Amino acid sequence: MVQKFGLTWWGQRWIAALEALGAVYENRLPRGRSYARQGAVHDLSVTPGVVTAKVDGSRARPYRVRLALPVFDDGTWEAIASALTGQIRHATALLEGVMPDDVDTTLADCGVSLFPTAGELDTRCSCPDVANPCKHVAAVHYLLATSFDADPFLLMALRGRERQQLLAALRAARAGTPDAADEPDIERQRVGIDEIEARDLFRTPEPLTLTISPHPDGDPLATMHRLGPLPPALAGAQRTVEATVVAIADHAWRLLSAADPDA
């Protein structure tokens, strides 16, 4: 099975940036894909603003590849955290390790993009090829797309913020203070779920907390009655089955409500 790169939309966007960069040297891209599939790329490292890797080639020693991308300054990251916080679905997706589909639209309001824009990406390789990107640089790009597929926070790290830093900034921004841990809990409004409209879910300044308040089943045999009597061969067990269902419903309620600590 042929390995594919860029299985997520953010991985595909990264590859698109590479293909735009390598439009003049299109023949280097398929060769780079082959190198990546053959496992020629190793020692891949992603740090703020810099990606380094080694790529095995035609000589005994591997070629050294370096990709450089400008990091965002602290003020920009504060603006990003504030913008992401304004979209609760963005924060929720990031907490689940998923890059929101329109996150770059939100970042555009801050004047930035996670992905390389024209002239931002600086690529270098120790090989003698005059092409830029050469096949070794292309190979690193494709493997990076796979890494980004698995962990979208690497994109953030490349731009200057590690995962925990970003999530801490999101929590602080949602609390409206530099350090949410130092602030007292705010009073939260309790509303019934039937009072919430879908559009309000994305406008709340604070995370939603759902509290489930169950009630005992008024008629645990209702489902059995809808299904009808047992088959003739089991008709003699009707009362036994009904008694068992009632007992199970009662036991389940005691477990759920903790009315019986020894349940």
Domain assignment present for residue 193? The answer is: no
Choosing from 141, 175, 209, the residue where a domain stops is: 175
Residues 137 and 59 placed together within one structural domain of the fold: yes
User: Which structural domain, as residue segments, surrounds residue 226?
Assistant: 222-257
Domain assignment present for residue 17? The answer is: yes
Strand partners of residue 182: none
Read off the tokens for 120: 């931002």
Residues 142 and 37 placed together within one structural domain of the fold: yes
Strands (E), 84-228: 122-125
Domain assignment present for residue 195? The answer is: no
Structure pTM?
Answer: 0.64
pLDDT in tens, 19-47: 776 555 668 888 999 999 999 999 999 99
Our count of domains for the chain comes to: 2
Assign 52 to helix, strand or coil: strand
Domain assignment present for residue 144? The answer is: yes
Residues 142 and 233 placed together within one structural domain of the fold: no
Q: What is the pLDDT of residue 85?
A: 80
Chain centroid offset of residue 211 CA: 25
| Segments of the chain scoring below 70 in pLDDT | 1-2, 21-26, 174-214, 258-263
Read off the tokens for 260: 């019986």
Q: State how far the Cα of 148 lies from the Cα of 5, in Å rounded to an integer.
A: 10
